[in-house]
């Protein structure tokens, strides 16, 4: 933690503010009140804005704009072909290149994406799962080309494949082979990229799919325990990789439930890791997390109302002790964020940080009878659900049976019927409805990007040493049959100008592909 943000802590009216109200339990196990002793008094949460659209050039411009306006970390959104490990010229990519994120299909795209950005100073989060190893390897190579070593780079890859089977669907390989890639990343980063968070175990998409707060915590931590078990089975010591595990949670509209959820999750993770693995490093049992406000809660109707929703959700995340925060833009339900809407979203965080007063005291809601009751209830109900999953054989076995998927489907259906009946009111949907004609300005990706990327890839294949490229890909396929760590081979393939799709195809030769059960 850095030095204090200021010397004198007082309310707007001049009342002196203690570091923490009540028992001084912050920064101490089980971390219910926060993982750092002084929390935001020492350092504010990292303000990230999820950005990525169209070309690497366009996204690079947006990154620089956000950094100029006070953002402290980058968060990269990739398009669907990239998320699925497809090259932009693959026939399955047709019509999707650059549509819901940035197209990164070769090393040169990553060079352009990060051009002019100080990779030794900026923390970068990448929302990428099945092909996470390849995208991180691209980042490593580009950093090295710019004189930044692997030891210096900081950031996070999502790399959470289990929730893809549960809630999102951008998986490629079967569960066993996917877990092999994840533990290869754990192992490589522990030795070569020590400041990188090797996985962001995500409840966000589970919640977006329709889960409750309890299900979000339970399914996320159950998945995390599966990753830990797999890494330990591979021979890794808990303290070798657990300190770099991070989490990614949703923050929905129920302010008190959400703040309590984060407090409960911290305690639950500490208790389970401590009881089961007895780590020597306290950070192994310390739940660190990024939060994104609930995209599913934002409406296309009366979109400016979403600014209020985002503010409530962001405030709950801060009161719950998040380490990093993304605030969605008010036009989330209509399209990719415009420059104006992205700036409003960032300013929302800055206002909470500097004007609301909630960052001036650790765990500002701690001690509230209601919050403490909710924290305990979420802890107990989540633990009960985790133990239920473990009786089935763990998260992977439960996923293969469709258990989590069924639970989420039922919860989502229940919520929808309550909204449609008017029992649960949503402003602009079934309450406070207005006749609307105007649609706010929307960001439109370059419609010709797919063709441009095809031409670029063809030029790369024409210019490279194809014998060296083919040897690199063959080495990946051979290694996939055994136990060799694939990360160094992926780096070598990228240096020989192999593309994302080619590297993933080399793995598919051995791993195959997978269709997850829907839960019905």
364 touches 315 (CB < 8 A): no
Residue 196 is given by DSSP the state E
Query: Are 372 and 263 in contact, with CB atoms under 8 Å apart?
Result: no
- Provide the pLDDT for residue 520: 54
SS3 117: coil
Q: How much is the pLDDT for 368?
A: 97
- Enclosing domain of residue 382: 43-421
Q: Is residue 211 one of the residues assigned to a domain?
A: yes
| 235 within some domain | yes
Q: In 10 A of CB 2, how many CB atoms?
A: 7
pLDDT value of position 71:
81
Which residues are 123's β-sheet partners?
A: 73, 154
Q: Is the CB of residue 453 less than 8 Å from the CB of residue 460?
A: no
Residue 104 lies in a domain: yes
Q: Total structural domains in the chain?
A: 1
Sign of CA dihedral 388, 390, 394, 400: negative
d(CA 420, CA 328): 25
**Residue 479 within any structural domain of the chain:** no
Q: Is residue 384 part of a domain?
A: yes
Does 446 reside within a domain? Answer: no
Is 463 inside a domain boundary? no
Q: Strands across the sheet with 196-197, in order?
A: 196-197, 154-157, 123-127, 73-77, 46-51, 324-326, 289-293, 245-251, 199-202
Distances (CA, A) of 418 to 26, 224, 415: 39, 32, 5
CATH number at residue 384: 3.20.20.240
Question: Contact, 323 vs 4, CB < 8 A?
Answer: no
Torsion angle of the four alpha carbons 360, 363, 366, 368, in this order, in degrees rounded to the nearest 10: 50
432 part of a folded domain:
no
Note down pLDDT in tens along the chain; length 520 residues. Answer: 334 577 789 999 999 999 999 998 999 999 999 999 999 999 999 998 777 778 999 999 989 988 998 887 898 999 999 999 999 999 999 999 999 899 999 999 999 999 999 999 999 999 999 999 999 999 999 999 999 999 999 999 999 999 999 999 999 999 999 999 999 999 999 999 999 999 999 999 999 999 999 999 999 999 999 999 999 998 999 999 999 999 999 999 999 999 999 999 999 999 999 999 999 999 999 999 999 999 999 999 999 999 999 999 999 999 999 999 999 999 999 988 888 998 999 999 999 999 999 999 999 999 999 999 999 999 999 999 999 999 999 999 999 999 999 999 999 999 999 999 999 999 999 999 998 777 778 777 788 999 999 999 999 999 999 999 999 999 999 999 999 999 999 999 999 999 999 999 999 999 999 987 765 5
Q: What is the pLDDT at residue 501?
A: 98
């Amino acid at each position: 933690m850095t030095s204090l943000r200021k010397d004198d802590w007082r309310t707007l009216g001049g009342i002196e503010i203690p570091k923490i109200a009540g028992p001084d339990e912050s920064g101490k196990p089980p971390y219910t009140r926060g993982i750092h002793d002084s929390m935001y008094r020492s350092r504010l949460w990292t303000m990230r804005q999820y950005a990525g659209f169209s070309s690497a050039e366009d996204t690079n411009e947006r990154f620089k704009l956000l950094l100029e306006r006070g953002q402290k970390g980058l968060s990269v959104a990739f398009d669907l072909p990239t998320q699925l490990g497809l090259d932009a010229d693959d026939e399955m990519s047709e019509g999707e290149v650059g549509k819901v994120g940035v197209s990164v299909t070769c090393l040169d795209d990553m060079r352009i994406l990060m051009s002019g950005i100080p990779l030794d100073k900026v923390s970068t989060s990448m929302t990428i799962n099945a092909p996470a190893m390849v995208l991180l390897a691209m980042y490593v190579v580009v950093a090295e080309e710019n004189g930044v070593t692997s030891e210096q780079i900081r950031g996070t890859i999502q790399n959470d494949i289990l929730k893809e089977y549960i809630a999102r669907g951008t998986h490629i390989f079967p569960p066993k082979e996917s877990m092999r890639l994840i533990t290869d990343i754990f192992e490589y980063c522990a030795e070569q990229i020590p400041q990188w968070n090797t996985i962001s175990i995500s409840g966000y998409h589970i919640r977006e799919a329709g889960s409750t707060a309890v299900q979000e915590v339970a399914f996320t931590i159950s998945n995390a325990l599966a990753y830990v078990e797999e890494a330990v089975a591979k021979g890794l010591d808990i303290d070798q990789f657990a300190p770099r595990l991070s989490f990614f949670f949703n923050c929905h509209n129920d302010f008190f439930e959400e703040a309590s959820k984060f407090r409960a999750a911290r305690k639950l993770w500490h208790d389970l890791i401590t009881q089961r693995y007895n780590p020597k490093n306290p950070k192994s049992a310390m739940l660190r997390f990024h939060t994104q406000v609930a995209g599913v809660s934002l409406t296309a109707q009366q979109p400016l109302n979403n600014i209020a929703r985002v503010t409530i959700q962001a405030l709950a995340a801060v009161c719950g002790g998040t380490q990093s925060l993304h605030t969605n833009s008010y036009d989330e339900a209509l399209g990719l964020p415009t420059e104006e809407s992205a700036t409003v979203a960032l300013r929302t965080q800055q206002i909470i940080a500097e004007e609301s007063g909630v960052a001036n005291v650790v765990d500002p809601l701690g001690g509230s009878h209601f919050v403490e009751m909710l924290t305990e209830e979420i802890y107990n109900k989540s633990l009960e659900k985790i133990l239920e999953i473990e009786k089935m054989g763990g998260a992977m076995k439960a996923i293969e049976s469709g258990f989590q998927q069924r639970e989420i489907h039922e919860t989502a259906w229940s919520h929808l019927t309550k909204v449609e009946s008017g029992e649960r009111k949503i402003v602009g949907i079934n309450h406070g409805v207005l006749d609307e004609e105007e649609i706010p300005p929307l960001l439109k990706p370059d419609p010709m990007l797919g063709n441009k990327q095809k031409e670029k890839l063809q030029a790369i294949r024409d210019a490279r040493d194809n014998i060296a490229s083919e040897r690199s890909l063959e080495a990946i396929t051979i290694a996939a049959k055994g136990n060799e760590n694939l990360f160094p081979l992926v780096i070598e393939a990228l240096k020989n100008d192999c593309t994302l799709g080619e590297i993933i195809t080399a793995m598919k030769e051995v791993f195959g592909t997978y269709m997850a059960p829907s839960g019905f």
